[in-house]
Amino acid sequence: MMRAVLFTLALTLTAWTPAWAQGYMARSLNHPVPGGVAVVGLGNSAATPSAAFANKPVMVLQDSDEQWIALVGLDLKTQTGPHQISIKTASEARTVNFNVDARTYPSQHITLKNKQHVNPNPEQVKRYEREYKQQIDAYASFRPNGPSNIVLDRPVDGGRLSSRFGLRRFFNGEERNAHSGLDFAVPAGTPVKAPADGVITIVADYFFNGKTVFVDHGQGLVTMYCHLSASEVKPGQTVSRGQVIARVGATGRATGPHLHWNVSMNGNRVDPAIFINAYQP
């Protein structure tokens, strides 16, 4: 009887890992909600594992406690409840389960003077569709090298967070896609800095986004900066953490100067506040 009790207790202690015993990245980034990030422990195997979620590769890094972790970006439409990732090493293939919790996002109502930014004409729709494909292709990139840092720097100095990620947005009373980034209210011309090392994949002027820059940081981590007044980089250019890549503006669908900042993991837009220690449940 005592042996059975001790065995059960051992299983319980193995399955439960207190927050203080987790690595730095797990403690900092694990917010498994729609639009969040699930940090899934993979153990401490000698070989580097690979992981996939919904048939897409996901980032795998070694945390400060020397455990391998998968960092899974969760789309805003991800269903709550149990999910799993597939894991592979040179010697085995297995699945690991994790749970997605619920999160409720508030609404935001915006009035735009340019009615075509609410209901674009057919030519503008075609333009948007071309631009959207370019962006989706950039988000899908998965370079094998990991990012220089996964807890990111703020892309601008100062400024309040004016519109948070996930807001249900209504333009001139009509509902559109939820807010896929984080807005910083800063003056036009404010320098925009790379929050981690990376490669520039897009420098463009888009219908909705205005002047836009994409940075690929590796292993599916991609950041986007839009409504810019100017860019200071070119596609294919390598940039370093803290390097100025653009200037804040009010181009595209914007009511005033601000930076709209997107963070994408494994092709899914996730809450940028998670990466700068500003997450609000």
69: which 2 tokens?
Answer: 């972790």
Residue 3: per-residue pLDDT: 44
173 lies in some domain: yes
Give the end of a domain, one of 51, 76, 100. 100
CATH code where residue 42 lies: 2.60.40.1590
Rama region for 219: left / alpha / beta (φ>0; ψ in -120 to 50; rest):
left
| One domain for residues 80 and 187 | no
pLDDT at 55: 95
Instruction: Tell me the pLDDT tens digit for each residue of 86-117.
Output: 999 888 899 999 999 999 887 665 555 665 55
Q: Is residue 19 part of a domain?
A: yes
Same domain, 114 and 86: no
φ/ψ of residue 245, rounded to 5: -115, -15
In the chain, the number of structural domains is: 2
Residues 16 and 113 in one domain: no
Range of the domain at 35: 2-100
Same domain, 93 and 38: yes
Same domain, 197 and 241: yes
Q: Which residues of the chain register pLDDT less than 50?
A: 1-18, 20, 175
User: Looking at residue 108, what is its pLDDT?
Assistant: 61
Residue 54 sits in the same domain as residue 179:
no
68-73/107-110 β-pairing: unpaired
174 plus 256 within the same structural domain: yes
Q: Are residues 147 and 194 in the same domain?
A: yes
> Does 137 lie in the same domain as 18?
no
Choose among 130, 271, 145, 246: nearest CA to 194.
Answer: 246
For 235-244, write each residue's pLDDT tens digit: 999 999 999 9
What residues form DSSP beta bridges with 262?
A: 224
Distance CA 121, CA 273 (A): 34
Same domain (yes/no): 143, 228: yes
pLDDT of residue 91: 84
pLDDT of residue 12: 35
Read off the CATH number of the domain in which 219 is found: 2.70.70.10
pLDDT given at position 121: 83
Q: What is the pTM (predicted TM-score) of this model?
A: 0.86
What local confidence, expressed as pLDDT, does residue 22 receive?
84
| The pLDDT of residue 120 | 73
